[in-house]
Chain A
């Protein structure tokens, strides 16, 4: 008899019948076992809030957005998130003392001399520094690193633009000559994109500092999975989209790393980062939104670090595209129509007002009490003076999904629209994708826009000269050149003079004057400086140094 035709006893209870046979019993037991196995599997792995063991922690876990991380080769990278990793893996010639970004201290170099003309820097290198392969660091490694970055012609190669020459001038001495004075040169050297890597290790994996490095260097892929530095940690692995793991460098020359291992767990959503932090599955949550950060304050075992980003969020006006926006009085009307203090409702403790283009944490920033405040009568008077007593219309473009350190651009745009409406100016909002917005801003195609200038290095020279008439931002993006007016010419001259003035007092005076004039006649409204808001476990972490470049230095974490 064929199996399919075999007579079968009909069971009135059908599929739900209790099995009468041993086989049926086994089959259903297997199903039940499978289900309970699935549940126990989940429960076995389910996270438990970790009890803090004073002073002891083997693995530090940091939740962070992978964001723009494209490579962790210090000579090729130039993205915002990368310094967090690079700082742990590499050293720079000089660095910042803890969270203080107003002065520099030795790192790879123990001391330095600057010539009276400000063009020559002689660095004495620390003879005790060793790379993670145990080999001592030499001046040749510094020269190789800088030349490789320049010749790779990658996004970070602009760091080397001011360099005229770099030479070994002693067993442990390097001399760098600049093309022109750069009063922020030492601050620029703190950037993790100017890390020192081992020439031998990088060369062994296809790296070169030769003129053809852009086409012949093949070490980037290796450096994405290995490090060749002198930092507290060495790179174990970078699993794209998942996590980046580093472990203690046994040859580190300073105080040893506080943990055997650090895991940077890539978590995109701020709410998920919060949940992981609150449950104790991570020790730091790097990308909290102002809402979430505010909700965490006061919660047991969780704290929030507010780190000024030194970034500037501004409303930019192009002086060529909209007839109404050609007149400086129209800019004045817009500037005085905005309620800057009320904007605090948007960033909820995750930001602060700024007086001009330089945020308060940078040297030469205009004091906060000189900032523009809302003055509706003055705004209306300026409108009348511009020939638009009943207001005018403009298109205000912003990146629809953009967060300025987690403050949504859309909220800022709507807020400004309401403010301007009060004086009769109609801002027609135009949300577009961020890459499109960036393309159009850089091409000078937007008549009004909200944007953020994030620092490429900690230095006022990365901001003020760019916003001065004819600078990278003011000129090509907003059409504001020195030829626009005598005052514009004066501002450009002041900014130019400041960048070559070595005397700090004179430098500050020049910067102040330039900023005051820009506030009077510039096509900008300075909105705020956002904070980087970092959540941490207060029951485990006692302290950590923070700054706007590498956010937290995991090598400086102190445990409770």
Chain B
């Protein structure tokens, strides 16, 4: 098992190298000059300022030299300096990631809480009105454009009815809690600031519910399908023949077996949430990594773009690894295969 995990970590190196190479070359192939994007109208017309800028960001060097310098710095843990913010990219990522992690984590918990019971229910009640309703609901959740849904939800629940707070992570009247994790809900608890905690938690509700409509839709359908595959299997009849109630059979035997493929999807959905919530972050003024990625793309901020891509790559790889480890924990057959190196 440990050997397997180490092998997977070793595989990360070529993956990340490939990501840096492709991103580096693609970002420089686009016909955009980052100096033009970064400098104002007057400044861009002064050759000395432009030359100084190019030199500072190494843009006056040949492309391969730029890449080699980047890799060398990367080996020392240096992701470079953002052309746009002038701060180290690593520092920027650390400041933007917690907001996304908090939103994605809240969403994934919410999604799991909604989708697993719904998926199980739909499978148990297969062919009934309940099943139809759940399938329709999840179809709507998956098919609905999230941007439109977010706008409509803001209009309805914030603007018309006023039952949820507006955009942002915190009420403007409150200062953020002292940073420990960067997650406002957690940090406010550490600091014992209950009002801040309430504010942070309530600001999470609407954006995470909207994100959950999409992720829960996918997860519910997966849970239902998986349950439908497990329900006819004979080991459940064995449990029933021993006198176990239907509830007990479902809870103790069907769900644990059906949930394994759902975990894969859960990991992938979490990865998507960490890397793909740009629209929601924009609409809800949520200062997360999507927000940073958007600005980096607009300003052709090459170091930031590569840094973000690396973070996305690492997130996906680690999540997949995490899912595999959870597989092994849940299923002794997989654990045994991993130990034998047969995967």
Contacts and interface: CB of A to CB of B under 8 A. Distances in A.
Interface of A: 4-5, 7-11, 14-15, 17, 38, 41-48, 59, 61, 68, 70-71, 76, 78-79, 153-158, 161, 214, 220-221, 224, 236-237, 239-243, 245, 263, 265-269, 271-272, 275-276, 278-279, 281-282, 433-436, 438-440, 442, 453-454, 456, 462, 472, 476
Interface string B167-208: 111111101100000000000000000000011011101100
Contacts of A68: 299
B199 A272 contact: no
Interface stretch (B82-90, B305-313, B327-335): B82-90
A241 B40 contact: no
Nearest to A457: B42
Interface of B: 30-34, 36-46, 48-49, 52-53, 56, 84-87, 92, 95-96, 99, 120-121, 124, 151, 154-155, 158-159, 162-173, 175-176, 198-199, 201-203, 205-206, 242-248, 250, 252, 282-283, 285-288, 291-292, 298-300
Given A153-B49, A240-B95, A436 B165 contact: no
Contact of B288 (A11, A154, A241, A272): A241
A479 B295 CA distance: 32
A295 B295 CA distance: 29
A435 B300 contact: yes
Contact of B167 (A48, A221, A276, A434): A276
A153 B52 contact: yes
Nearest to A156: B43
B245 A8 contact: yes
A281 B166 contact: yes
B245 A11 contact: yes
Most B Cβ at <10 Å: residue of A70, A240, A242, A462: A242
A462 B120 CA distance: 68
Given A10-B247, A242-B176, A243-B168, 15 more contacts: A7-B244, A8-B245, A15-B120, A42-B206, A44-B198, A45-B198, A45-B199, A47-B162, A156-B43, A241-B287, A279-B158, A436-B32, A438-B37, A440-B31, A472-B45
- Among B41, B124, B154, B244, max chain A CB count under 10 A is at B41
B250 to A, nearest CB: 7
What are the nearest 10 A-B pairs in CB distance? A241-B287, A45-B202, A10-B245, A8-B248, A242-B287, A7-B243, A435-B37, A8-B245, A435-B32, A155-B43
A79 B32 CA distance: 19
A76 B206 CA distance: 38
B56 A214 contact: yes
A537 to B, nearest CB: 14
Nearest to B32: A435
A265 B166 CA distance: 11
A97 B38 CA distance: 32
A158 B285 contact: no
A367 to B, nearest CB: 26
Contacts of B41: 453-454, 456, 472
Contacts of A276: 166-167
B151 to A, nearest CB: 7
Contacts of B201: 41
Contacts of B56: 214
A242 B44 CA distance: 29
A265 B285 contact: yes
A78 B39 contact: yes
B57 to A, nearest CB: 12
B194 to A, nearest CB: 11
A275 B49 CA distance: 42
Contacts of B162: 46-48, 279
Contacts of A456: 40-42
B114 to A, nearest CB: 11
A82 B204 CA distance: 29
Nearest to B294: A268
26 contacts: A7-B243, A14-B246, A41-B202, A42-B202, A42-B206, A43-B163, A46-B164, A70-B85, A71-B86, A76-B86, A155-B53, A224-B87, A241-B286, A242-B176, A243-B172, A263-B172, A265-B172, A276-B166, A434-B298, A435-B32, A435-B299, A436-B30, A438-B37, A442-B33, A442-B36, A456-B41
A59 B172 contact: yes
A281 to B, nearest CB: 5
A91 B40 CA distance: 22
A271 B151 contact: yes
A442 B120 CA distance: 60
B84 A70 contact: yes
Nearest to B117: A15
Contacts of A462: 42
Contacts of A282: 172
Given A8-B243, A239-B176, A279-B158, A38 B205 contact: yes
A266 B120 CA distance: 42
Nearest to A49: B162
Given A41-B202, A239-B287, A241-B287, A275 B154 contact: yes
Contacts of A5: 242
A293 B10 CA distance: 56
A279 B299 contact: no
Contacts of A268: 282-283, 285
Contact of A435 (B242, B285, B287, B298): B298
Contacts of A442: 33, 36, 44
Contacts of A10: 243-248
A251 B203 CA distance: 36
A452 to B, nearest CB: 10
Given A42-B165, A240-B92, A435-B36, A272 B154 contact: yes
B338 to A, nearest CB: 24
Contacts of A17: 247
A15 B250 contact: yes
A73 B108 CA distance: 39
Contacts of A224: 87
Contacts of B245: 8-11
A235 to B, nearest CB: 13
B40 A78 contact: yes
A125 B31 CA distance: 49
Contacts of B86: 70-71, 76, 220
B115 to A, nearest CB: 15
Nearest to B167: A272
Contacts of B299: 68, 435
Contact of A241 (B34, B96, B120, B173): B96
A71 B37 CA distance: 15
B331 to A, nearest CB: 16
Contacts of B99: 241-242
Contacts of A8: 243-245, 247-248
Contact of B247 (A15, A43, A265): A15
A155 B244 contact: no
A76 B45 CA distance: 17
A268 B280 CA distance: 11
Contacts of A220: 86
Contacts of B175: 236-237, 245
A266 B294 CA distance: 15
B203 A45 contact: yes
Given A265-B172, A267-B285, A435-B32, A15 B42 contact: no
A272 B166 contact: yes
A434 B30 CA distance: 12
Contacts of B173: 59
A436 B291 CA distance: 21
Contacts of B53: 155
Best-buried of A9, A271, A435 by chain B (most CB within 10 Å): A435
A242 B87 CA distance: 17
B170 to A, nearest CB: 8
A464 to B, nearest CB: 14
B39 to A, nearest CB: 5
A157 B49 contact: yes
